[in-house]
Structure formats: structure tokens, C-alpha cells
Amino acid sequence: MFVEGTLRWQVTEDCPWDLLMALALRDLGGLTDVGDPVLPPVVPAVERVAQGAWGAHSAVALAATAIDRSLLRSQWQAWWERTLVRESRPITTQLKPPHFAVFDRELELQDLAAEYYADALAWTTARHEEYARLSMAQHAVRAADIVDVVRDREHELRRQAGYFRLDLAVLPFEAKGAWIVAPHTVIVSDSLREDAAAFRAWFAPVVAALV
């Protein structure tokens, strides 16, 4: 994660590990219509390689299990919502095999994690490393995309920015865009973040509304 700002305002940017894992399990579990807002499928798609490596279920057994899909949807949504907020996000992931104790009261979600963990982990690791490499290589440009827009707004208003905070979660979606998902939190597709002109065009009205 990197942070840009002053004592008055702050913008953080990250590609949170647990959000990647949640999206990977969402797509593997066929829950791509869950969420408010509903977010696009991830890209590249999560490949299915392992077969229930961390649990007793095979793919066939999981499909045959009397899983309450409505309950699974609500459990995933609750996990997603508590993971979105930076302050409530654990410093290190609590999603740990083989028992996935963090889901002891969300058994459908626990079964989903047990079945697909190995595939979700491989995908998440690759995407997280890709983001880290790009973020390091492009740090100066990405920082300028944020700072320049805020300074331009300050110049326009002839005053310094007041207090605001914005957390950007950069995630790999097949659609280019940005989605407000929680107070102070916006999800930005990696394709938008890597396009400096498009990112600044999106970010400028956001800053205008905040400053």
C-alpha cells in the first residue's frame, strides 16, 4: 500500500489480499451476481486446477451437498462488506486452511473455501505480485496522478484542501471503471488505474466533490 497526502487529506492505494481472495472464491463459486454494487468478473479468470485440496469435498461432492445457495450468497456478501473497510481488514489474512476457522459460523462459506482455496490462492498470489511490481515501477507516475489533481483543485479554489480521506482498492476486472463500495472506499479496475489520463479524468470530479 502507498499513501499520498498531507496532514489535511490522504489517499491510500492498495490491492488488498483478502479482497482478491474473496473475488476469486466468488467467481469459482458462481456468485458473480452478488454484491451492491455487483462487480464484474475478474480477469484473468480463476483457473480450476486442484480438487478440494484443503477439505473433504471434491467438486462433485460439493455440488451434491445440500448447500443453501441463498445462505452462501448472504455469507459471502457479509464477508465482503467487512473486508472492504480498511480499518476492519486484518493485517494478515485470517483465511487459513485446513479448517478456515474464521468461517466457523458461516458453514456454507467454509465449504466453499475448503473446496476452492488452492485455486483462489494461486490466482490471488499472482495478481498481488503483479500489482506490487507495477506499483513499484510506476510509483512516481501514480503518485502524481493523485497529487496533481488535488493541487489543481486547490489552485482553482485558491485555498488548501480541507480534510478528506479516500481509500482506493485496485483490482483486476474485465470491465474498466470505478465503484463506490463503502464510506471512503472506492474500487478501481487495474485497467483504469494504469491509464493515467483516464484515471485523472475520473479522479478530478471525485476530488471536486470532496474538497
Confidence (pLDDT) at 66? 60
pLDDT band at 50 (very low <50, low <70, confident <90, very high): low
Mean pLDDT score, 160-180 = 96
Query: Is the alpha carbon torsion for 56, 103, 120, 118 positive or negative?
Result: negative
Residue 177, C-alpha cell as written in the block: 471503471
Residue 139, C-alpha cell as written in the block: 510509483
Cross-strand partners of 38? 35
Residue 131, C-alpha cell as written in the block: 500489482
If one counts every other C-beta atom within 10 angstroms of the C-beta of residue 7, the result is 6
Confidence (pLDDT) at 92? 83
Confidence (pLDDT) at 57? 44
Confidence (pLDDT) at 65? 55
Q: Domain segments of the chain: what residues?
A: 2-12+137-210, 20-130
Asked if pLDDT for residue 52 goes beyond 90, the answer is: no
If one counts every other C-beta atom within 10 angstroms of the C-beta of residue 121, the result is 19
Mean pLDDT score, 83-96 = 85
At the second CATH level, the architecture of 2-12+137-210 is 2-Layer Sandwich (3.30)
d(CA 118, CA 36): 27
d(CA 18, CA 83): 7
pTM: 0.90
Write the pLDDT tens digit of every residue in 118-148: 999 999 999 999 999 999 999 999 999 999 9
Using DSSP, state whether 111 is helix, strand or coil.
Answer: helix
Q: Which of 2-16, 17-31, 61-75, 93-107 has the lowest mean pLDDT?
A: 61-75
Asked if pLDDT for residue 64 goes beyond 60, the answer is: no
The pairing of strands 164-171 and 9-14 is parallel
Confidence (pLDDT) at 85? 84
| Cα dihedral 171, 72, 30, 186 in deg (nearest 10) | -20
Q: How many CA atoms, within 13 angstroms, populate the side-chain half-sphere of residue 184?
A: 14
d(CA 129, CA 113): 22
Confidence (pLDDT) at 14? 95
